Chain A
Amino acid sequence: MISFKKGKIKVPEKIQPTSASIDESWLVLRNVFDKVFSDNTQDISFEKTYRVVYDVVRFKQEAELYNRIKEYLVQRFESLRTDTFSKGSTITHSNWEFLEKLDKVWKSTNIHLECIRDLTLYLERTFCERNRTPGIVETGLEIFNTCLLLPLKDTVNKEYVNGINDLRDTRTYDNPHTEVLERLGSMMLTILSGEDSFFVVFVQNYLLEESMKYYSGLSDSLSLKSIEGFQKVEELIEFETKLDETFLTSDAATKIIKCINKVLIWGNYENIVEPLLKNALDTFNGEYLKKLYYLTTERKYRLKLRSVIQDMINRNVSAIELDESEKKKSIMGSKWTSSIIIMFNKYNKLLQGLSFEVESNNDNETKISIANDRLGGLQQSNDTDGNDNVEDVSQGTISAAGLLNETFSNFFKQNSKHSAQYLSFYLDSCLKNTLEKTEINDSKNCIIDCVNLVRLLPDKDEFTIIYKNQLTKRLLQQQSSLKVEKFACKRINEETGSFWTHKLGTMLRDISRSEYLAQNFSVSQQQKSIGDLSSKDTLEFIPDILTVTSWPFQDIDDIVVEDLILPPQLETLKLDFEKFYNKKYNERTLKWVHSLGSIQIGFQFEKTYHDLIMPFYSALVFLLFENHDELTIDMILEMTNIPEQELYRQLLSLIMSSKSRILKKSPVSKTISKTDKFSINYSFTASTQKVKVQTIVGTTSSRRNENNNINNVLERERINATNAAIVRVLKRRTTLSHTELLERVTEEVKPIFTLQSLVFKKSLGFLITKEYVQRDPENSNLYHYIS
């Protein structure tokens, strides 16, 4: 039950209508404000104060009142400054005294200003809103800034930084002091000085400088070394990040971290970065590399990081040596290539995920760099100064792969003499392994890896030509699986562009079409043989029909021997096939290049039975012995019509070769003379059933010949390509100066090979004589396009 006596309650005295005099009202209000500043708000009557303000406004004294409040606040804050932060007390040994005081002042100032705002709400709602003058709190903070904070600015700066350094020393970020810093930080951000906050205008730079000093001092005392040093730095950074995020703006925090990075890591370049990178690249451990990279945000340092990594990789790759102990050049080359591939893959894995982004200075550069990036490492100019080129490319964003490509591309350029050849050797050996099904997958991976490198070659055309020659050999001698060949061709095509590789495609197509024809042909032969019971022994015939232009035979007429005399069986077969083929494609002419073929013959020697795989000519000679026991050279010549030179070579191989000596001659000697007689060497035997009868390739001169051939072909093709490029360029421009033309054409052919001035001159000379291009009669430096 509520018990409540009816009490006599004091009715408040009536509020005297305030006089028009602002002075009297001001006395009242000042008294009230004094109470606010002494935190006695509960003694203030909101109603009465509100009323006083209301009356002042009613009597149109609002502007005066506003100014007096301002003056009052100026006084307040000034005396607050002198009382609390007098000179004597700022020189104190305790770091935190000043900051704690300031924090307290700031806290109470906020409360006080809000109180005054509430009490003078009517002023705020009328005068300030209608005249768009800043409200009491806003004005108050401004006054706080000018009267209290600005005069103390140096001390604030010093103490604030000291406070932060103190926390850094103690390595704690979770204590009351942090909160003080946090509040002061927000104070400095709230208070405006001109356009920006107090913090940005006065404190930030000082803080950065001091942090720099602090950490460089720390770096001297810690003597950071290698990976342990880096780990230490990491710890420091982790701490600083946590510390900063409690009371700094993210902007300032990033800047500080940048500072640390600059001072501690790059300031200790020899001690930290170099060992770290070396370790990462030697052990292929990307962990620290990644961390280092993420800590490095400045463009300058990222560029540096990039170039250092490139240098180191280059050094490591160059360290791969040719194994001179291998006799065969091809084995040596492919060994070299495989080590490089291993290295490349390792680095690729290591650098994966790191994008070596470097903020570009303007959009234009970004575009260039994107173009560069898109082309990967393909784009390598023939600038004599390689460093310049690196600088250009590194203007913008480059992925780790880009970086690696660039490095390897440069490496290949340095080794341009043999890199194309060796890569091709490697592919050759890979592809030759593909007859066994189990090895196909391994080979495919090797091919992918190797072709990855092919696209980095500066002279891709050279590679193509060598590869083509080897491909021819492989295809005609069926040394590899057609499927894998196709796969490899497709990959190469993807990486180097179709212009140089479409002939490879045609070659492969010829082979597969030949297989198809062979099947059809054998079916038709069988049908024929059903009617003709006499031919008991059927021959297996594998024709290869080659498109002349696609294959790397220099002069078809040189190798076609028209008047060769074939054994009757083969002759029939030849005629049958010609008939069959003409039926199918009657527009085409078929020419037989016997020298590229081979024949497999089964023969029972004295001791063993062997399948002899022989070159076509050798086989022809061998077949003669079906009907003859002994023959002389002249007889053979007469019966076969093999070119004499060629016959000598074949016979020589048949009697000399250590592994496949299936003929013997009397008298025994190392040379062949007209009077020598040849017969089958019945005593021949070998460990395997299949015996490959090889033709001795002749002397060293022929190998040099081969190299010369390649170079000739290369030059011819390059001139052709340059011709086309010049015409393309000039057609668009009509007139160009020599240097301009050279520049543009170089750019045109860059994806495929590096233009040499000799080639350019030859090509230009050719075009002038053919009257595609005309030299300007007055200015010999100028060229016109003749349409």
Chain B
Amino acid sequence: MSKDKEVSSFLKGDFNDLCYSCRTGDVENADRLISTGININQVDKFDNSPLFLASLCGHIEVVKLLLERGAVCDRDRHEGARCVYGALTDDIRNMLVSYDISKKFDSNQPFAAHISSLLNYTDYRFDTCDLRINCKDEKRAVFAHKFMVFARSSALHNSSPSELNEMFTEVSMEVLGTLIEFIYLVPILHSTPSTDFPELIKLANYFQLDSLSEFLNKFRHTADPVEKSNLIVTYQYKFTELARRQLKKFVKDNIIDRHIDIDNVSPNSVSIPDPRSCVPFPDIYLTVENSVGSRRIYPCHIAMLSRAGFFKDIISKNFQENKTYMTTKYASRADVEDSHMLFVELPICDFGVAEAVINYLYYDSSDFDPNYAFDVIRLADYIMADRLKTIAAAVITQSLEGTLSKNVFDILHLGWETGVVRLEQFSAKYIAQHLEELKLSEELRRIILESSQRISSREETDTIELVADIRFYLLSKYDLEVDDLSLLESDADDREFLQSLGLLDYQKDIETLNTILNKLGLSF
């Protein structure tokens, strides 16, 4: 750890140079500095990121470079929102936004971008909207999801969708569109014409979109452009956070708390509320069975679950589930009675695990009981939610560090099973740190053997991956570089010097490892 700090402090000067290049628009120099390995997502002492500086100063080439090299413009974060609204020109703003929401339905994309993308579906099979709102022009309508409108505003709290439509008959398409876009977190603040403000404020008040009306009122009375843009930046971030809180509340009140227990009841007598008129207006039901055989159904939404590949495929591929779903959808559009419902069963796990996954899919929550982390990774693997896998892996490695001992082998297994490299590395590092305690452990031998067998399925067969990893972490354990090893030969007589460097301890550990390998007949 101390080494990391050293490295980062060593790079500090270069980072300031990078910031300077971003201000001046020196693409070549910025490119050079980035290639030295600077973390381009840090901030300087005024809390400005390189991306923000480049967008503010209007250097579109530098902005492009930074984005290509992995600069994060995550509108969910304050920093990302600042970039979007601080951008000097529309070109830069569009570029930033396109980098943020360009990948529609990418299961890795974070919260706000996913929600925005729900309005831009391209595949008809993925038209998950269940709410049609007409406006002044009768031929045109805006489509949305009931649950989202419900979660974000009070519009559907006391009125049915048809009553809702009555309210909008006087509203123009543009204003209605803006309102829906706001609900779906599309960054509309800079592009809304001030002529739409009165109507928007009226609507916002009506639906208790307090933060929007608050913003609009303030914005209307602000003249200074700098202040204006500050306002936009602050509020867009607020909106995202608000949406997150609202969705959190929605999930808790209307999904988790409205689960249906079916373990004691005969399956045929379970009554499920009408999904079309009752909150939370679900279009998919998740069935979960826990380890003691209790079963629960969670009413959910494909729109949100589709962040995970499994749920996306289940609807978009042409199988039975798709048939069921389409039948329901057309029935609902045509206002015909229909009793089809889409049930999807998850592998056996605790309810808490299922809920953790639901929380993640709805509002990006990574806040779950570390005890569930193992199962969350497995479940995430099952539903193909890779980002959740890495998040859960981080939870494991952070919360368990230093406290686990033999658990490490389970973690390694889990890493192999689910393909999370971070877990493999973590385990190797742990083993390297605790080699002395573990050297007699039967499990260590078994797992090295297992790792060696995994080789056969790989193309490159020269090393046992685990052993190579352990050797690597042994070096860092004693704060050594590969080059230092030559000292072992050149300065073999100066034992004191070698001891002070930690080379002798390192040598001892390596010998321990080699002994184990010899016993296993794996030495080479």
Chain A residues within 8 Å of B, Cβ to Cβ: 1-15, 17, 41-47, 49-51, 54, 58, 63, 115, 118-119, 121-122, 125-126, 130-132
Question: Would you give 16 A-B contacts (Cβ < 8 Å), ordered by A?
Answer: A1-B162, A2-B276, A8-B268, A9-B272, A11-B262, A11-B270, A12-B345, A14-B289, A17-B348, A45-B320, A45-B321, A47-B321, A54-B347, A63-B457, A121-B313, A125-B384
CB neighbours of A63 from chain B (8 A): 457
Q: Is B382 an interface residue (CB 8 A)?
A: yes
Q: How far is the CA of A13 from the CA of B343 in the complex (A)?
A: 10
Q: Is B245 an interface residue (CB 8 A)?
A: no
User: Assuming A8-B269, A41-B319, A46-B313, is B459 touching A132 (CB within 8 A)?
Assistant: yes
Identify A4's interface contact among B337, B345, B382, B458, CB under 8 A.
B337
CB neighbours of B36 from chain A (8 A): none
CB neighbours of A44 from chain B (8 A): 319-320
Q: How far is the CA of A448 from the CA of B277 in the complex (A)?
A: 95
A14-B295 in contact (CB<8A): yes
B319-A54 in contact (CB<8A): no
Q: How many A-B residue pairs have CB under 8 A?
A: 100
Known contacts A7-B271, A9-B270, A51-B347; 17 additional CB pairs below 8 A are A4-B337, A5-B274, A5-B337, A7-B272, A7-B339, A8-B269, A9-B272, A11-B267, A11-B270, A14-B295, A46-B313, A46-B317, A63-B457, A118-B319, A121-B309, A122-B382, A130-B457
Measured CB to CB, the nearest residue on chain A to B274 is A4
Q: How far is the CA of A408 from the CA of B276 in the complex (A)?
A: 93
Identify A42's interface contact among B271, B318, B339, CB under 8 A.
B318
B337-A3 in contact (CB<8A): yes
Chain B residues within 8 Å of A, Cβ to Cβ: 160, 162, 262, 267-274, 276-277, 287, 289, 295, 297, 309-310, 313-314, 317-323, 335, 337, 339, 341, 343-345, 347-348, 382, 384, 417, 419, 457-459
CB neighbours of B297 from chain A (8 A): 11
B276-A4 in contact (CB<8A): yes
CB neighbours of B384 from chain A (8 A): 121, 125
A12-B287 in contact (CB<8A): yes
B318-A41 in contact (CB<8A): yes
Q: How far is the CA of A132 from the CA of B457 in the complex (A)?
A: 9
CB neighbours of B343 from chain A (8 A): 11-12
CB neighbours of B262 from chain A (8 A): 11
Q: How far is the CA of A641 from the CA of B272 in the complex (A)?
A: 146
User: Assuming A9-B339, A131-B457, A132-B459, is B345 touching A46 (CB within 8 A)?
Assistant: no
Give A38 Cβ to nearest chain B Cβ, in Å. 14
User: Assuming A12-B343, A126-B419, is B274 touching A6 (CB within 8 A)?
Assistant: yes
Q: How far is the CA of A44 from the CA of B321 in the complex (A)?
A: 8
User: Assuming A42-B319, A46-B313, A51-B347, is B458 touching A6 (CB within 8 A)?
Assistant: no
User: Assuming A6-B274, A43-B320, A51-B347, is B458 touching A13 (CB within 8 A)?
Assistant: no
A10-B319 in contact (CB<8A): no
Identify A54's interface contact among B162, B273, B382, CB under 8 A.
B382
Give B521 Cβ to nearest chain A Cβ, in Å. 23
Q: How far is the CA of A130 from the CA of B456 in the complex (A)?
A: 12
Measured CB to CB, the nearest residue on chain A to B266 is A11
List 3 A-B pairs, minimum CB-CB distance, nearest first: A46-B319, A4-B274, A11-B267
Identify B287's interface contact among A14, A46, A115, A122, CB under 8 A.
A14
A2-B335 in contact (CB<8A): yes
CB neighbours of A51 from chain B (8 A): 345, 347
CB neighbours of B339 from chain A (8 A): 7, 9
Give B317 Cβ to nearest chain A Cβ, in Å. 5
User: Assuming A1-B162, A44-B319, A46-B313, is B268 touching A10 (CB within 8 A)?
Assistant: yes
CB neighbours of A5 from chain B (8 A): 274, 337
A118-B345 in contact (CB<8A): no
Q: How far is the CA of A54 from the CA of B162 in the complex (A)?
A: 43
CB neighbours of B313 from chain A (8 A): 46, 118, 121
Give A63 Cβ to nearest chain B Cβ, in Å. 8
B271-A6 in contact (CB<8A): yes
B317-A118 in contact (CB<8A): yes
CB neighbours of B314 from chain A (8 A): 46-47, 50
Measured CB to CB, the nearest residue on chain B to A4 is B274
Identify B267's interface contact among A13, A47, A119, CB under 8 A.
A13
CB neighbours of B274 from chain A (8 A): 4-7
CB neighbours of A14 from chain B (8 A): 287, 289, 295, 345
Q: How far is the CA of A356 from the CA of B267 in the complex (A)?
A: 86
The listed residue with most B CB atoms (<10 A of its CB), out of A6, A11, A130, is: A11
Give A54 Cβ to nearest chain B Cβ, in Å. 6
Q: How far is the CA of A9 from the CA of B343 in the complex (A)?
A: 11
A50-B345 in contact (CB<8A): no
Q: How far is the CA of A119 from the CA of B313 in the complex (A)?
A: 10
Measured CB to CB, the nearest residue on chain B to A117 is B317
Q: How far is the CA of A45 from the CA of B343 in the complex (A)?
A: 11
Identify A6's interface contact among B269, B273, B345, CB under 8 A.
B273
A11-B317 in contact (CB<8A): no
A45-B319 in contact (CB<8A): yes
Identify A47's interface contact among B337, B345, B348, CB under 8 A.
B345
CB neighbours of A4 from chain B (8 A): 274, 276-277, 337
A42-B348 in contact (CB<8A): no
User: Assuming A14-B289, A45-B320, is B341 touching A9 (CB within 8 A)?
Assistant: yes
